[in-house]
Amino acid sequence: MDTLDSLTLGFSVAFEPTNLLFVLIGVVIGTAIGVLPGLGPTATIALLLPITYTMDATTSIIMLAGIYYGSMYGGTITSVLLRLPGEAASVVTAIDGYQMTKQGRAGTALGIAAIGSFIGGTVSIIGLTFLAPMLANVALAMGPAAYVALMVLGLFLVTSIGTGSTIKSLCMAGLGLALSTVGQDPIDGSSRFTFGSVGLLSGFDFVAVAMGLFGVGELLHSLEKSEHGQAIKVKIKNIWPSRKDMKESSGAIARGSVLGFFIGVLPGGGGVISSLASYAMEKKRAKDPSRFGKGAIEGVAGPETANNASSTSAFIPLLVLGIPSNVVLALIFGALLMHGMTPGPQLIAEQPNLFWGIIASMYIGNLMLLVLNIPLVGVFVQMLRVRTGILIAFALLIVMIGVFSINNSPFDMWVVLGFGVLGWLMNKTGFDPGPLVLAFVLGPILEKSFRQSMLISGGSLEIFVTDPAAALIFGAIALGILYKVLGTRLKRRKKTAPVIPAESVDIDS
């Protein structure tokens, strides 16, 4: 089956009435939670995981994917109008977007952001359509040793490229790997780290862990800074950009599409990194860099295009290699596992309806977002009137009912509460729970692949050197570590270098 036939199959799945409805539901929810500061796609998807358990696998992933890339659109609205990013990836947009609002050009900023996001997302989906099958064929030739290397690479990139302290991220990844070993040994069935608890025999449930860390933990953190809703007093007009605006933005949109696509493919990349990189690129290329920070339209078009392109292309390492490149995709990875499907190179051959249905739904969802966001901006903005405390109380009730409904287990409810407190403490102390969840998801795959490698090699670690793919990946990891160490040492030397005051220099000598 060639790519066009596969895509036709995907559209036949995506155009089923139920799937079409949940594409719409996903992008609307995504836009809404992008508008509301403090929630974000991570907490929302974590809260919705129990609901997806009762749904068809394809339908549930289509909805979750819509929430993810829809939130990138929604985060733009408050960034531009209030200089209050609804999503982390929209932080950069607030710089010039808010200045355009102060100049009476809020509508133009939102319009160019929507158009750039649509173009970036579409370019990225086209790249996903043609690149994913080719990459899957390469991945199918890899052995278990190469998969060990891929899992280690994913963990390394997430902890080193992501935001926050590298040491803290490594600690969280180590904790995640340790938690993934709790329960019964997958080979001989012996219990590990259960301490006599019957509830721990099957290990920690992924949904309970995710809902605790990102659902309850984030809600508790938001409760501390709960504020009254606020209304937008800015008049939004002239949403469709003029011909001059489009001409000034066209280059930024084109570059942002390509840059965002490739950063999204990289495990550990994401909307924040791609938007920062795009803004830096546009400012460097500009004839007059001083315009940036004062309402330059390229400063809105480029980053918004890049973060939407990266959110789509990030599905390539998830679906094809089984490596979630960020926390949101780790949750979607977990949702697939809940339905008995393991993301990886076999997914295209074993579940073509799922794989191509998701891709086709992205074309539809991206078009829906363009149609919805421009005329309905005023409606989404009014959501800011809702008090955060009301949303949090309702969400906590849904969390506890949802987690109990999956396994009818009171133990899972205690797990949610325990990890909720842990997630809240992490927020307070600067520890990012993202690497923990990623390691928790990748841990079982890493262990399985490692033990298979040991069986094949008779217990010798030489297999990771003699296997060409594994050796290449581990070599890249070693170079990355070396680069990181050298870069850190150079920064320290610059900080500790003595500064000689100008007046102390003896010119005559």
Q: What is the pLDDT of residue 62?
A: 92
Query: What is the average pLDDT across 115-127?
Result: 88
d(CA 322, CA 154): 10
d(CA 261, CA 452): 34
User: 287-292 contacts: CB < 8 A, separation 24 or more?
Assistant: 292/95, 292/96
d(CA 55, CA 339): 9
**CB-based contact 283:292 (threshold 8 Å):** yes
Secondary structure letter of residue 191 according to DSSP = E
Q: Which residues, 6+ apart, have CB-to-CB distance to 243 below 8 Å?
A: none
Q: What are 287's two structure tokens?
A: 């004839």
Q: What is the pLDDT of residue 318?
A: 84
d(CA 149, CA 304): 33
Q: What is the pLDDT of residue 509?
A: 43
Confidence of residue 24 (pLDDT cuts 50, 70, 90): very high
**CB-based contact 15:54 (threshold 8 Å):** no
Q: What is the pLDDT of residue 131?
A: 85
Q: What is the pLDDT of residue 377?
A: 67
d(CA 116, CA 199): 49
Q: Where are the domains of the chain?
A: 3-504
* pLDDT surpasses 80 at 226: no
pTM as predicted: 0.74
Query: Three-state SS for 141?
Result: coil
Q: What are 266's two structure tokens?
A: 């990289």
Secondary structure letter of residue 279 according to DSSP = H
Q: Which of 209-218, 222-231, 383-392, 430-439 has the lowest mean pLDDT?
A: 222-231
**C-alpha distance from residue 123 to each of 116, 167, 234, 358 (Å):** 11, 36, 32, 16
> Quick one: which of 73, 86, 79 has its CA closest to 113?
73
- pLDDT tens for each residue of 45-62: 877 887 887 888 899 999
d(CA 384, CA 296): 26
* pLDDT surpasses 60 at 231: no
C-alpha angle 103-109-110 in degrees, rounded to nearest 5: 130
- 3-state DSSP: the chain helix, strand, coil percent, rounded to 5? 75, 0, 25
Q: Quote the percentage of the chain above a pLDDT of 70.
A: 82
Q: What is the pLDDT of residue 505?
A: 46
Side chain identity at residue 39, one-letter code: L
How far does Cα 269 stand from its chain's mean position?
8
Q: What is the pLDDT of residue 507?
A: 45
Q: What is the pLDDT of residue 22?
A: 93
Confidence of residue 386 (pLDDT cuts 50, 70, 90): low
Q: What is the pLDDT of residue 497?
A: 58
The residue among 290 and 499 whose pLDDT is bigger is: 290
> Quick one: which of 255, 248, 367 has its CA closest to 303?
255
- What phi, psi does 236 have (nearest 5°)? -100, 115
- What phi, psi does 274 have (nearest 5°)? -65, -40
C-alpha angle 145-151-157 in degrees, rounded to nearest 5: 135
The alpha carbon dihedral of 101, 105, 111, 114 has a sign of negative
